[in-house]
C-alpha cells in the first residue's frame, strides 16, 4: 500500500523556518501532559498528548495503549536457536496464509556457536558471525507468536535496512570489515534458513538503510551510510526488482556544498538545491572505500546517515526522507528530503534543542500519513516521535526507567492495527496497540493550529 504524505508548500512552512522553536513548544506541551499552548479544541480531545509512566519500566505510552513483549534476546526459537541480541531494523509482512511475519535485524559482531556454519555467510575459526536476521511468524491478529527462526546468519552489525515493494526485507551491514558491508535480501515467506542472498553490486560500505522508489520505472534504490563523513547513494538495477544482479551505483553531489553538516547554518531549512550524481566505479571497495571514491568526484558528506523511507506527496510523486543523526550546528540531527522528480534536495528539519528532537535514527510512515522517528541518543529517555506534514512534533512513546536503550525497527502491521518496535539494548521486540484514532485526532488538531498560525 502506498502512503500519501502531503507537505505544505514552501511559502507556508514558517513553522520549520523558525529553526525548530515552535516545535520545541509543541513537544514540550505534549510531554507535560497538556500545559502550555493547548487550545480549547486540544484540551477536549480523547488524548491530550501525555505519556503515562510504565509501571514495568520498559516503555511509556499514551493513555489507553499497551504493549506486549513478543520476543526477548535469549528466548529459544522454534529452530532451537536463541533469539539474537540487539534487535534493530525490522519490517512487517503479510504472508500467504494470512499470518504476519516480522523480519528483525541483529546488530551484533561477535561469533555464535549456536549457528549453523553450513548456512552462514561468514565465520571466524569455524564459528559463524552472529549478525543477521530472525523471522517471527505471528497469528493473523499480529500479536501472538506462532513460530520463529533464524533467517540470515554469518553477517556483522545488521543495523537497519528496508522493505521492498515485492515484500522482501533488505538487511544492511553497518561495517567496513573485510568481506562485509553489504546488503542482503531475506524472503519472509521462507519457513527455514535457506542461506543468504548478497546484493553485491549495491555497494560495500557502512550501510544503514535502504528505500526503493515506489514510482520509478527503473526501481532505483536509495541508501544511507552511517558514518560521520559518509555519503548518500542510489543504485539503479539493470533489471527492476533484481537487486542481486548488475546495476550502477552513484553518490549524491550538491554543487557548492562539500558537506551538509551545516555547522555554520549556511543551509536554510526548506531551501531546495539541484543535485548531481557521481559514479562509484568500484562498488565492492576493492582498492578504495566507497565514500572516498565519491568524495574525489565532489560527492557531498552527510553526517551519520540513518533511517530512510520513500513515500508520495500530494501529486503522487516520490519523496525520499532520511535522517542524519549528528547534523546541524547543535549536532542534534537533521531530516532531509530528496525529490527525484525535480532532482533536488532540501533540509526538511534541523534540531536546535535536545528537548525537541535528539538524534533521529530509524524512520517510517504511520498509517495516518505522518513520519515517525526513533531516537538514539544514549540518554535515559529516547523517544518515538511523530511529525505532521506541517512539521508539528508529538511523542508516541518513550523508553522508561533508568535505561539508555535506543528505539529501533519501527513498523506497522499490514492492516495498520499494530505498531512494532525494538528496544535494542534491552533485547525486547514488542507490539503496541490501542485506539489509533485518538492519535490521529490529536495530530489533526496540532496540524490545524500550525496551519492556522501560518496563514
Q: What is the mean pLDDT of residues 116-123?
A: 96
What are the tens digits of pLDDT across the range 208-238?
Answer: 999 999 899 999 999 999 999 999 999 999 9
CA–CA distance, 184 with 198 (Å, rounded to integer) = 5
pLDDT at 43: 63
Provide DSSP, 323-368: EETT-STTSS-EEEEEETTTTEEEEEEE-S-TTT---EEEEEE-TT
pLDDT at 214: 85
In a domain, 114, yes or no: yes
What are the tens digits of pLDDT across the range 272-324?
Answer: 999 999 999 999 999 999 999 999 999 999 999 999 999 999 899 999 999 99
Q: What is the mean pLDDT of residues 186-195?
A: 93
pLDDT at 76: 98
In a domain, 416, yes or no: no
Q: What is the mean pLDDT of residues 428-444?
A: 96
Is the per-residue pLDDT at 363 higher than 90?
Answer: yes
Is the per-residue pLDDT at 48 higher than 50?
Answer: yes
Is the per-residue pLDDT at 139 higher than 60?
Answer: yes
70-104 burial, b at 16+ Cβ within 10 Å, e below that, comes to: bbebeeebebebbbbbbbbbbbbbbbeeebbbbbb
Is the per-residue pLDDT at 28 higher than 70?
Answer: no
pLDDT at 448: 79
pLDDT category of residue 10 using cuts at 50, 70 and 90:
very low
Which one has a higher pLDDT value, 455 or 369? 369
pLDDT at 40: 52
In a domain, 430, yes or no: no
If you ran DSSP here, which 8-state letter would residue 27 be given? H
Between CA 214 and CA 222, with CA 218 as vertex, the angle to 5 degrees is 60
Q: What is the mean pLDDT of residues 92-97?
A: 97
The structure's pTM equals 0.91
Is the per-residue pLDDT at 33 higher than 50?
Answer: no
Are the CB atoms for 188 and 170 separated by under 8 Å? no
Is the per-residue pLDDT at 325 higher than 70?
Answer: yes
Phi and psi, residue 338, nearest 5°: -110, 130
In a domain, 143, yes or no: yes
In a domain, 91, yes or no: yes
pLDDT at 446: 87
Is the per-residue pLDDT at 108 higher than 60?
Answer: yes
In a domain, 117, yes or no: yes
CA–CA distance, 212 with 174 (Å, rounded to integer) = 19
CA–CA distance, 93 with 346 (Å, rounded to integer) = 31
Is the per-residue pLDDT at 42 higher than 80?
Answer: no
The number of folded domains in the chain is: 1
Mean pLDDT, rounded, of the chain: 90
In a domain, 264, yes or no: no
Q: What is the mean pLDDT of residues 341-357?
A: 96
pLDDT at 254: 98
CA neighbor of 360 nearest in space, from 303, 318, 401: 303
Q: HSE (CB half, 13 Å, CA atoms) of 211? A: 27
Which one has a higher pLDDT value, 182 or 37? 182
Q: What is the mean pLDDT of residues 258-265?
A: 97
**CA distances to 252, 310, 438, 451 from 222, in Å:** 10, 9, 34, 31
pLDDT at 450: 65
Is the per-residue pLDDT at 12 higher than 60?
Answer: no
Residue 130 structural domain: 77-204
In a domain, 146, yes or no: yes
Which one has a higher pLDDT value, 15 or 420? 420
Is the per-residue pLDDT at 49 higher than 50?
Answer: yes
What are the tens digits of pLDDT across the range 423-435?
Answer: 999 999 999 999 9
Q: What is the mean pLDDT of residues 68-73?
A: 98
CA–CA distance, 358 with 128 (Å, rounded to integer) = 35
Q: Mind spelling out the 3-state secondary structure of 139-158?
A: CCCCCCEEEEEEEEEEECCE
Amino acid at each position: 500500500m502506498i502512503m500519501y504524505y502531503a507537505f505544505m508548500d514552501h511559502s507556508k512552512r514558517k513553522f520549520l523556518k523558525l529553526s525548530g522553536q515552535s516545535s520545541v513548544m509543541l513537544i514540550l506541551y505534549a510531554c507535560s501532559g497538556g500545559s502550555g499552548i493547548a487550545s480549547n479544541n486540544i484540551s477536549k480531545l480523547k488524548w491530550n498528548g501525555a505519556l503515562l509512566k510504565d509501571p514495568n519500566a520498559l516503555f511509556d505510552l499514551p493513555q489507553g495503549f499497551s504493549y506486549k513483549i513478543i520476543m526477548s534476546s535469549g528466548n529459544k526459537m522454534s529452530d532451537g536457536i536463541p533469539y539474537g541480541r540487539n534487535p534493530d531494523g525490522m519490517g512487517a509482512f503479510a504472508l500467504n496464509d494470512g499470518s504476519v511475519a516480522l523480519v528483525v535485524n541483529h546488530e551484533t559482531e561477535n561469533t555464535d556457536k549456536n549457528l549453523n556454519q553450513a548456512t552462514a555467510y561468514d565465520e571466524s575459526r569455524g564459528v559463524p558471525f552472529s549478525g543477521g536476521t530472525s523471522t517471527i511468524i505471528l497469528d493473523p491478529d499480529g500479536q501472538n507468536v506462532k513460530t520463529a527462526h533464524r533467517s540470515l546468519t554469518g553477517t556483522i552489525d545488521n543495523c537497519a535496512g528496508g522493505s521492498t515493494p515485492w515484500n522482501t526485507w533488505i538487511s544492511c551491514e553497518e561495517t567496513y570489515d573485510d568481506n562485509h558491508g553489504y546488503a542482503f535480501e531475506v524472503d519472509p515467506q521462507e519457513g527455514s534458513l535457506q542461506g543468504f542472498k548478497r546484493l553485491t553490486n549495491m555497494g560495500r560500505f557502512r550501510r544503514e538503510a535502504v528505500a526503493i522508489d515506489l514510482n520509478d520505472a527503473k526501481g532505483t534504490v536509495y541508501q544511507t551510510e552511517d558514518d560521520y563523513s559518509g555519503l548518500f547513494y542510489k543504485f539503479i538495477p539493470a533489471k527492476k526488482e533484481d537487486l542481486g544482479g548488475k546495476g550502477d551505483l552513484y553518490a549524491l553531489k550538491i554543487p557548492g556544498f562539500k558537506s551538509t553538516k551545516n555547522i555554520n547554518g549556511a543551509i536554510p531549512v526548506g531551501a531546495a538545491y539541484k543535485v548531481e550524481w557521481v559514479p562509484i566505479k568500484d562498488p565492492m571497495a576493492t582498492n578504495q572505500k566507497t565514500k572516498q571514491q565519491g568524495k574525489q568526484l565532489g560527492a557531498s558528506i552527510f553526517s551519520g546517515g540513518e533511517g530512510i523511507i520513500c513515500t508520495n506527496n500530494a501529486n503522487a510523486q516520490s519523496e525520499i526522507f532520511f535522517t542524519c543523526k549528528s547534523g546541524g550546528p547543535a549536532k542534534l540531527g537533521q531530516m532531509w528530503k530528496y525529490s527525484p522528480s525535480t532532482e533536488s534536495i532540501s533540509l526538511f528539519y534541523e534540531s536546535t534543542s535536545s528537548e525537541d528532537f535528539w538524534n533521529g535514527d530509524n524512520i517510517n510512515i504511520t498509517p495516518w500519513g505522518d513520519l515517525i522517528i526513533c531516537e538514539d541518543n544514549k540518554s535515559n529517555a529516547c523517544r518515538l516521535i511523530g511529525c505532521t506534514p506541517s512539521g508539528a512534533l508529538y511523542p508516541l512513546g518513550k523508553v522508561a526507567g533508568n535505561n539508555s536503550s535506543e528505539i529501533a525497527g519501527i513498523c506497522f502491521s499490514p492492516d495498520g492495527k499494530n505498531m512494532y518496535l525494538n528496544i535494542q539494548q534491552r533485547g525486547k521486540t514488542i507490539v503496541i496497540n490501542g485506539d489509533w484514532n485518538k492519535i490521529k485526532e490529536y495530530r489533526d488538531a496540532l496540524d490545524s493550529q500550525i496551519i492556522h498560525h501560518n496563514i
